[in-house]
Amino acid sequence: MTQQETFTHLYKHYAPGIRKLCLGYTGSSAQADDLLQETFMAVWNNLHKFRGEANYSTWVYRIAVNTCLLYLRKEKTTPQKTDLDLLHNFAAEETDCESEVLLLYKCISRLPEAERLIISMVLEDLPYEDIAAIAGISENNLRVKIHRIKKQLTEMFNSYARV
Amino acid sequence: MQEFDELKDLWQQGSADQPSSAIPDVSKASGQTKKKLQNEQLKGAICLVLTACFIAGLAIWGGFGFEHWYTYGAMALVCVICLLQASSMFYTHLKIKRIDETANPKQHLSQWETYYSYRKKLLKWNGPLYFVLLNLALGIYFIEVMAMASATFMLVFGVVYTGWMIFAYFFLGKRVLEREQNRIEQIIGELKTIEMQFYK
């Protein structure tokens, strides 16, 4: 496969998941699109370095995580951290499934940066082993974190959904 | 009351899973933020090398016929300053280039932290040194160039030039420097906070 073919394959395969990760991270569709583009530019720029030590999924997600973590700093923008009032209004106005999904993205974007990324990967059903490899932490440490984040996110979502 | 598994179902049935944009145009891969930072430094370095070559060319083939060696010395000093600044920018370019986006987040964040600490140190001494050396070179250059001018012209020129330099350095420069230092410190602080989030 040529570099362009590999890139196209990676984009088609991973872009939807990466976009969700970015959406969870920023809580904004426009910023998620920017981040997705930025991530795949980095994938293209680093593709020649891929030696196959990790699988493509881990490799691409790790680039996405790194891009997310740096993006907001370099762009001098702040995450669109939805304020509490806005979340309450949002939950009160919208009730269908699509709006619940949006509420979920908004709730995730209120978590600390690293936790947003970890929980997005859990929701995306990535194996714990892969998430640990992407985040560069031990699986035990990851499990403890995931347990805590799950609880926090569920409570936050329920508190807004009940409004 | 929803349980986490229900949130997972919700996430997976979300229609926001389709990227709204097409495959990125890789011919514009230089638009990536890291690449942009890298290219800014590289372009700056190239411009400074070209400036040094231009000034050197003027000194050698310009036919100015200066009488004193130190006037040529001043032109050479400007070339040296440009080349030193170019090397510093090229080194910064290499530093950014070496940051590995495929490393784990801790390593990646710490590489950016190192880069920003380097920028912070560089800002501290690079600006003042550049200012002092460049003004020294221009001062020496003007000794001969201004020798034929009238005393009034020399006085007016001296006052305007010195005044502008003092204003640029102590007012404009200091403000820009302070803003940049604060921005870098804020970035370093945020990077450290995120690094901690992974390991606490």
One DSSP character per residue, B148-183 reads TS-HHHHHHHHHHHHHHHHHIIIIIIHHHHHHHHHH
Contacts across the A-B interface (CB distance below 8 Å): 146
- How far from A101 is each of A72, A89, B63, CA to CA, in Å? 23, 15, 74
How near does any CA of chain B get to the CA of A138, in Å? 10
- What's chain A's average pLDDT? 84
Query: Is B29 in contact with A150 (Cβ distance < 8 A)?
Result: no
B148: CB partners within 8 A, 6+ apart: none
Residue B187 has pLDDT above 70, yes or no: yes
pLDDT tens digits, one per residue of A99-142: 888 888 889 989 999 999 999 999 999 999 999 999 999 999 99
pLDDT tens digits, one per residue of B54-92: 999 999 998 888 999 999 999 999 999 999 999 999 999
Cβ contacts of B187 on chain A, cutoff 8 Å = 73
Query: Is B102 in contact with A123 (Cβ distance < 8 A)?
Result: no
**Confidence tier at A28 by pLDDT (50, 70, 90):** confident
Question: Which of A:48-87 have CB within 8 Å of B?
Answer: 49-50, 59, 62-63, 65-67, 69-71, 73-76
The closest CB to that of A73, out of B24, B32, B190, belongs to B190
The reply to whether B45 falls in a domain is yes
Among B101, B180, B183, pick the best mutation site for testing chain A contact (most A Cβ within 10 A). B101
CATH number of A140's domain: 1.20.140.160
> What percent of chain B lies above the pLDDT cut of 70?
92
Please tell me what DSSP assigns to residue B65.
-
Query: Is A101 in contact with B11 (Cβ distance < 8 A)?
Result: yes
Among B28, B102, B191, pick the best mutation site for testing chain A contact (most A Cβ within 10 A). B102
Helix (H), strand (E), coil (C) string for chain A: CCHHHHHHHHHHHHHHHHHHHHHHHHCCHHHHHHHHHHHHHHHHHHHHHCCCCCCHHHHHHHHHHHHHHHHHHHCCCCCCCCCHHHHHHHHHHCCCHHHHHHHHHHHHCCCCHHHHHHHHHHHCCCCHHHHHHHHCCCHHHHHHHHHHHHHHHHHHHHHHHCC
- What's chain B's average pLDDT? 88
Paired tokens of B98: 């070496």
Q: Alpha-carbon distance B2 to B141, whole Å? A: 77
Query: Is B8 in contact with A42 (Cβ distance < 8 A)?
Result: no
Number of domains forming the structure of chain B: 1
Hey, what amino acid is at A89? N
Q: Alpha-carbon distance A83 to A94, whole Å? A: 17
Number of domains forming the structure of chain A: 1
Domain that holds residue B106: 34-199
Domain that holds residue A127: 3-161
ipTM entry: 0.81
**pLDDT score at B174:** 87
**pLDDT score at A163:** 57
Q: At what angle do helices A29-46 and A3-26 cross, to 10 degrees?
A: 150
Q: Alpha-carbon distance B73 to B67, whole Å? A: 12
A112 interface with B at CB cutoff 8 Å: yes
**Confidence tier at B32 by pLDDT (50, 70, 90):** confident
Query: Is A104 in contact with B7 (Cβ distance < 8 A)?
Result: yes
The reply to whether B26 falls in a domain is no
* pTM, to two decimals: 0.83
Query: Is B8 in contact with A123 (Cβ distance < 8 A)?
Result: yes
How near does any CA of chain A get to the CA of B49, in Å? 27
Hey, what amino acid is at A78? T
> What percent of chain A lies above the pLDDT cut of 90?
56
The reply to whether B8 falls in a domain is no
Cβ contacts of A157 on chain B, cutoff 8 Å = 2, 7
Contact A9, A26 (CB under 8 A): no
- Phi-psi map region of B171: left, alpha, beta (phi>0 left; psi -120 to 50 alpha): alpha
Query: Is A42 in contact with B24 (Cβ distance < 8 A)?
Result: no
Cβ contacts of B198 on chain A, cutoff 8 Å = 114, 135-137
